[in-house]
């Protein structure tokens, strides 16, 4: 079944002038936003994807088995006429343990009339994970506030129309930035794509003014989506099929593609839908003070063991050959452990 890679091989020779930006292009750029190119450029640099790829090839990061799909994506984009000359600009990455913020965004110049802003989802840092947990009880997390200022800053420095998107927490940031940016900026935003990201709080979604704004937001959720079904979301929702099953459907690289759009499903998986209803009920029952107390405890516990990077922790687990042998897990299987961990934590933090 076709996926993001199939789309690039099939449609990669068409310019955006001949074939307008679509939902698959959105997913591709959101997937690209996870590639750690921040060591290769700064906020002041502007590079084409084709210029960036040789720099990335020389980096040691590309050897990790956890980045296999990212390496393939970058390679295909650098060879694609549709994407290779696309400029990447205004890359901002900020992380602060004291304010519990993990934020990354970048801007892609699609053509003379349009820009696409991609907000990265949660990274592997412990700070990023804790901020993700804080979504469950804070009215506004630092990354949401920063997403608003980033969007407004980009809009103030260009006359181009803007499309906004993100995956997982990045999808939440895209929606939040659109809803809370200045009116004059919002008028220039053509579309907002939330790719399996959590919704907004009940208080925000209940606002009549925001209900009107949500007409410009499209949310893509896999059949077994858990992350994207957390909190409230009244935007247009399209249920899509995946090459994977269960919680691994959260992975953008598993989403099924048909032509220039996703392959849609008629309804959510029944058991997943029941679980999401249960989780959302539970999250509303737990007092915010208790949520904060538990999250702070887990964070401090991991920190006391010297854990600062979740991906590094998983890789260290992968070096424990006795443990791998016990559970018959190969090093290749560890990439699935890494993919599952943030999703499993998302579930348990709601219980």
Residue at token pair 């979740």: 310
Percent of the chain with pLDDT over 70: 63
Model confidence at 253, pLDDT cuts 50, 70, 90, reads: very high
Q: Is the pLDDT of residue 167 over 90?
A: yes
Higher model confidence: residue 130 or residue 164?
Answer: 164
- Among 324, 327, 30, 274, smallest CA distance to 172 is for 30
Model confidence at 270, pLDDT cuts 50, 70, 90, reads: confident
Higher model confidence: residue 160 or residue 311?
Answer: 160
For residues 278 and 270, give the distance between their C-alpha atoms in angstroms, rounded to a whole number.
13
Average pLDDT over residues 27-48: 93
Model confidence at 329, pLDDT cuts 50, 70, 90, reads: low
Tell the burial category of 305 from Cβ atoms under 10 Å away from its Cβ (0-12, 13-18, 19+): exposed
What pLDDT is stored for residue 225 in this prediction? 74
- Among 191, 118, 115, smallest CA distance to 156 is for 115
Q: How many CB atoms lie within 10 A of CB 258?
A: 15
Model confidence at 214, pLDDT cuts 50, 70, 90, reads: confident
The separation between CA 108 and the C-alpha centre of its own chain, rounded to angstroms, equals: 16
User: pLDDT digits over 83-138, tens only?
Assistant: 999 999 999 999 766 556 789 999 999 999 999 999 998 755 555 455 555 565 55
For residues 44 and 48, give the distance between their C-alpha atoms in angstroms, rounded to a whole number.
14
Model confidence at 267, pLDDT cuts 50, 70, 90, reads: confident
What pLDDT is stored for residue 332 in this prediction? 53
Q: What Rg, from alpha-carbon coordinates, does the chain have?
A: 20
Q: Is the pLDDT of residue 15 over 50?
A: yes
Phi, psi of 178 (to 5 degrees): -65, -45
Q: Is 285 helix (H, G, I), strand (E, B) or coil?
A: helix
Q: Is the pLDDT of residue 348 over 50?
A: no
What pLDDT is stored for residue 209 in this prediction? 67
Which of 18-27, 102-111, 131-140, 265-274 is predicted least confidently?
131-140
Model confidence at 11, pLDDT cuts 50, 70, 90, reads: confident
Average pLDDT over residues 273-289: 64
């Amino acid at each position: 079944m076709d996926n993001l890679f199939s789309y690039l091989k099939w449609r990669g020779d068409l310019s955006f002038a001949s074939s307008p930006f679509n939902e698959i292009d959105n997913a591709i750029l959101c997937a690209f936003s996870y590639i750690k190119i921040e060591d290769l450029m700064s906020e002041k640099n502007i590079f084409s994807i084709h210029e960036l790829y040789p720099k990335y090839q020389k980096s040691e990061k590309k050897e990790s088995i956890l980045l296999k799909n990212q390496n393939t994506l970058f390679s295909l984009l650098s060879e694609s006429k549709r994407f290779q000359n696309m400029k990447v600009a205004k890359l901002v990455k900020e992380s602060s343990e004291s304010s519990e913020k993990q934020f990354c965004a970048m801007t892609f110049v699609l053509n003379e009339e349009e820009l696409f802003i991609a907000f990265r989802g949660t990274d592997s840092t412990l700070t990023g994970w804790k901020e993700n947990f804080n979504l469950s009880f804070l009215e506004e997390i630092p990354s949401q506030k920063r997403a608003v200022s980033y969007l407004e800053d980009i809009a103030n420095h260009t006359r181009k129309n803007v499309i906004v998107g993100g995956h997982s927490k990045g999808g939440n940031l895209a929606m939040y930035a659109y809803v809370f940016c200045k009116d004059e900026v919002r008028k220039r935003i053509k579309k907002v794509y939330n790719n399996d990201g959590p919704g907004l709080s009940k208080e925000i979604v209940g606002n009549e003014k925001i209900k009107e704004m949500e007409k410009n937001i499209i949310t893509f959720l896999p059949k077994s989506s858990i992350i994207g079904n957390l909190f409230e979301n009244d935007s247009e929702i399209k249920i899509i099929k995946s090459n994977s099953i269960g919680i691994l459907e959260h992975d953008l690289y598993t989403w099924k593609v048909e032509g220039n759009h996703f392959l849609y499903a008629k309804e959510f998986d029944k058991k997943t839908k029941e679980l999401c209803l249960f989780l959302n009920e539970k999250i509303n029952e737990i007092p915010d003070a208790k949520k904060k107390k538990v999250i702070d405890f887990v964070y401090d516990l991991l920190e006391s063991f010297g854990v600062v990077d979740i991906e590094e922790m998983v890789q260290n687990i992968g070096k424990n050959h006795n443990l791998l042998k016990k559970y018959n897990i190969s090093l290749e299987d560890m990439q699935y452990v890494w993919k599952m961990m943030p999703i499993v934590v998302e579930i348990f933090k709601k219980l």
